[in-house]
């Protein structure tokens, strides 16, 4: 599910190295991408929830109406209903294609919005041990951390992370570090986040929310502000 709605589209390929996520890679567009909902019946519930996290991401960053649709139909997707899965995949693919089209090699910042939740999420995967926490599980927790940080930084109101939290809970997706076995370890995310490939200076680059359906790339977030947030998280 995660591949059908997100990673199979866009031509970005990478492997983990030296304990870091997606450290070595290349851009190479496939000749064809096939997303067949019938294959999703072979997945277990954990894998379906991991894929659902990326679906939620698209609603959170780009389409408030789709966010609401997920609230109504997300459980049908988790049950591998073919119509719901096809609708979700189609909408996500169209949104990703639109983001990638003008920024294929991730240089202008347009494509970077797709990384909402991933800076926190990759750090979660790193400190847990790569392969311990599924990527979608880490992104799910990372999205709520990013939304809460958005509110703490004054980028959105408190209702925004509350809306996201409510949807994640409704879909039974992980939303707290203790849900992925990392309770009390938020401060440990700081160092891996400093190594994130999106950073361009001594400051930290993050994708934050202004509201549900609207994300923004912030390239000048002071390290101290992030460290203080994680210390209190």
The label of the residue with tokens 């849900």 reads: 179
Is residue 150 packed enough to be buried (19+ CB in 10 Å), middle (13-18) or exposed (0-12)? buried
Most confidently predicted of 16-25, 106-115, 170-179: 170-179
This prediction has a pTM of 0.94
Select from 1.20.1090.10, 3.30.360.10, 3.30.1370.60, 1.10.579.10 the CATH code of 2-232. 1.20.1090.10
Using CA atoms, how far apart are residues 69 and 73, in angstroms rounded to an integer? 6
Q: What are 84-106's pLDDT values in tens digits?
A: 999 999 999 999 999 988 888 77
The label of the residue with tokens 């101290």 reads: 224
List the domain boundaries for the chain: 2-232
Q: What are 8-24's pLDDT values in tens digits?
A: 888 888 888 887 778 89
Which candidate, 109, 5, 138, places its Cα nearest to that of 59? 5
């Amino acid at each position: 599910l995660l591949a059908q709605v997100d990673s199979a589209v866009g031509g970005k390929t990478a492997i983990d190295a030296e304990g870091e996520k997606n450290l070595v890679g290349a851009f190479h567009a496939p000749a064809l991408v096939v997303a067949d909902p019938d294959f999703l019946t072979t997945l277990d519930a954990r894998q379906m929830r991991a894929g659902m996290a990326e679906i939620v991401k698209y609603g959170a960053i780009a389409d408030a109406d789709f966010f609401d649709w997920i609230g109504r139909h997300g459980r049908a997707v988790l049950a591998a209903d073919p119509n719901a899965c096809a609708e979700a995949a189609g909408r996500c693919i169209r949104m990703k294609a639109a983001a990638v089209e003008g920024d294929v090699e991730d240089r202008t910042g347009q494509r970077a919005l797709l990384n909402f939740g991933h800076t926190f999420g990759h750090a979660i995967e790193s400190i847990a041990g790569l392969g311990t926490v599924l990527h979608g599980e880490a992104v799910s927790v990372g999205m709520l951390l990013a939304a809460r940080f958005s509110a703490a930084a004054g980028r959105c109101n408190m209702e925004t992370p509350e809306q996201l939290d409510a949807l994640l809970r409704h879909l039974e997706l992980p939303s707290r570090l203790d849900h992925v076995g990392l309770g009390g370890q938020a401060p440990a995310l700081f160092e891996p986040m400093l190594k994130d490939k999106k950073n361009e200076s001594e400051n930290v680059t993050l994708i934050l929310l202004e509201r549900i359906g609207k994300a923004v790339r912030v390239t000048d977030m002071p390290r101290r502000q992030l460290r203080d947030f994680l210390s209190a998280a």
